[in-house]
Amino acid sequence: MDYTQLGRTGLKVSRLVLGTMNFGPQTDEADSHAIMDEALDAGINFFDTANVYGWGENKGRTETIIGNWFAKGGDRRDKVVLATKVYGNMGPDGPAWPNHDKLSALNIRRAVDASLKRLRTDHIDVYQFHHIDRDTPFEEIWQAVDVLVQQGKILYVGSSNFPGYKIAQANEIAARRGGTIGLVSEQCLYNLAERRAEMEVIPAAQDYGLGVIPWSPLHGGLLGGVVKKEAEGGRRSSGRAADALNDPAQRAKIQAYEDLVDKHGLRPGEVALAWLLTRPGVTGPIVGPRTAEQLRSALRAVELKLSEELLAGLDEIFPGPGPSPEAFAW
């Protein structure tokens, strides 16, 4: 496994990030523990989750599964750089109750303590804001963060799904206040089929020293060989992948992608991950395996060296928008 610094910090993290969103909803606890053991054995030390994972009446379940895994011992917690998120409503089921979501100082304090209890740990290494909160000023957010850092409950702070201007705003206010070093990572939607982050989000992250952590690197399975699987009678696509395949133009792109990858004797999903590892500013993509074999496929991607010919072919099929303002102006 290769390692890199997380943004401008001294923290070393693996070039693949283990996403845990499927632990609970798709993968039972025993299999989830086996996947985490295999990931750790392979050198993946960066684990990502969120307080809402498990969803609905089971929200928090994923953090509990991870906490039970830590409780098995064997230096599991010490070896892991643990990241979780705050924003989604964690209040009781039924009508939303005030102050159980978003980024108020009250909810951040409440959410950290609840996550620590579920995760069965005394600190969170990277605490991430899952979405922007248009109602809470960053002065209040950073004040809450300062307290939690002083208490030793969190070490670093990251963002997720932030536009470029919010990354800038957050870190400029952090710099004015002193204390916290501000955001050190941004987790964004970024893959071959969705490259809009290249316009402003990734440049902002690079300028402010944030590591970029792409989520949905296979774009909901669309880049994982769906056309071939469909032709071979495999599981039908759903969600984002199904919508794209119903569009003739998008389907033609995916077919061209699979043909190009096949010409080079490679697997689509592994190429999609390996491509992200070549991109400027990217710390490592999040892989969210439902099974151990999906994890092994992701691990193979780290070893791939994509040729210049293949990279050029990928750009022809999935051209990026280019940086702003040139992407929309002169």
Burial class (CB in 10 A: 0-12, 13-18, 19+), 307: exposed
Tokens coding 58: 């089971």
Give the Cα separation of 283 and 210 in Å (integer).
Answer: 9
What number of H helices and E strands is found in the chain? 13, 10
- What H or E segment, with its residue span, contains residue 121? none
- Note whether 17 and 287 are within 8 A (CB): yes
Catalytic: which of 3, 53, 208, 257? 53
Map residue 36 onto helix, strand or coil: helix
Does residue 127 carry a catalytic annotation? no
284 contacts: CB under 8 Å, gap ≥ 6: 4, 13, 14, 15, 16, 17, 46, 213, 277
Q: In what order do the strands lie in the sheet with 183-189?
A: 211-215, 183-189, 154-160, 124-129, 81-86, 46-48, 17-19, 286-287
Sign of CA dihedral 276, 213, 178, 80: negative
* Active-site residue list: 53
